[in-house]
Structure 1
Amino acid sequence: MLTTELMLYSVEQGVKFTNTYGDIDERFYSSMATMYEKVITICNMEEKFFQIFKGRLKKFMTDTDGID
């Protein structure tokens, strides 16, 4: 679970950085998307993880609204 926590934290910080400092390069976004996909895959396989992280996953969706 700690690895999943760290992956989600990394994505959250990437979103925070983008919202604070503006647009970054495509490689950065690709890395964040890949990491988020891994978290989602893990949460789909482990209901317990989904229950733990669902609030943060939802917040991620609202925090990324408007980032192209």
Structure 2
Amino acid sequence: MKITLNAKEHDLSAKTLAEALSELGMTSPALATALNGTFVSRAKRVDTRLTEGDRIEVLAPMQGG
């Protein structure tokens, strides 16, 4: 299915948000995720189903100054 991740289109076989992150190599536990503009906690990613055209935003903490 086609989804948009951080404004870039991807074609994935994943059915859930957790599977999508894994398929895309985003395995860090320190990620914030949103699906179609709504925050999704780490605990709910495994149960959050994806559908064609969903928009996923992923943010990771950055260090520096």
Q: TM-score, normalised by structure 1?
A: 0.24
Larger radius of gyration: 1
Write 1 or 2 for the structure with the bigger share of strand.
2
Compare the two structures and name the one with the higher helix fraction. 1
Calculate the TM-score normalised by the size of structure 2: 0.25
